[in-house]
Amino acid sequence: MSANSSRTALVTGGLSGLGAATVTRLREEGIKVFTVDIADGADFQMDVTDFDAVAKLPSQLPRIDILVTSAGIVGPNIPLLQTEEQQWKQVFDINVLGTASFIKAFAPAMVENGWGRIVTFASMAAKDGNPNLSIYSATKAAVVALTKSVGKELATTGVLVNTVAPAVIETPMNKDTSDEVLARLTSLIPMNRIGKAEEVAELVAWLCSDKVSFSTGAVYDISGGRATY
């Protein structure tokens, strides 16, 4: 029996996009996967900003060895000068506090067990700052810094914490993105195409495995060559 067959994962935003692709890929490895999503059909249908519910979630699950926090929203696609305070609070609550609260809830058992893998989702926007997406870009930059901090805090525990930074990927999150914006973002990618969710899931699965042993607090770009640093 492989080590994977005895491991259990939790994926937030697990019913669509990068989260769903990750769930499929981890299950192919024989990993038992539970999903959290605001949509019907998740193992735990809940809002990631329900911080009391998040804190209680570990008591409703077997020990979680792998945590993937893919729940997130893009938020308004407007210039910074048109943004409003509530829009900032909503996107930060979901993208940043939602990520931090799950790590806070599930990392302790991983530390106690001496093994764990945590993968968060950032974005190329965290590095480049996409115009008219100041809120989203700022939240994803915060996820990068959060991941680096926690990775250092847990570096000697056997729990590795890394983040992936995709360029634009073909997911439901981008279904409302205008053709003009998608064309501009695609033009920034040297491969001249947008990515596929399955390609990102392959990287995530690797980061969740024993094959990664000397990397934590790192940012893994998956951008078709767009990343410059």
Q: How many domains does the chain have?
A: 1
pLDDT attached to residue 10: 98
**Which pLDDT score, from 0 to 100, does residue 1 have?**
42
pLDDT at 172: 74
Is 223 within a domain?
A: no
| Residue 220 annotated among the catalytic residues of the structure | no
Q: Is residue 11 part of a domain?
A: yes
On whether residue 224 sits in a domain, the answer given is: no
Q: What is the pLDDT of residues 138-187, one digit of tens each?
A: 999 999 999 999 999 999 999 999 999 999 888 876 666 778 878 888 89
Residue 173 lies in a domain: yes
How far is 156 from 114, CA to CA, in rounded Å? 9
C-alpha–C-alpha distance, residues 141 and 215, integer Å = 19
How much is the pLDDT for 219? 98
For residue 229, the model assigns a pLDDT of 84
Q: pTM score, two decimals?
A: 0.95
* Structural domain contains residue 214: yes
Q: Which domain range does residue 46 map to? A: 4-218
Residues of the chain with pLDDT under 50: 1
Catalytic member of 106, 121, 136, 220: 136
User: Any idea what the CATH number is for the domain that residue 208 is in?
Assistant: 3.40.50.720
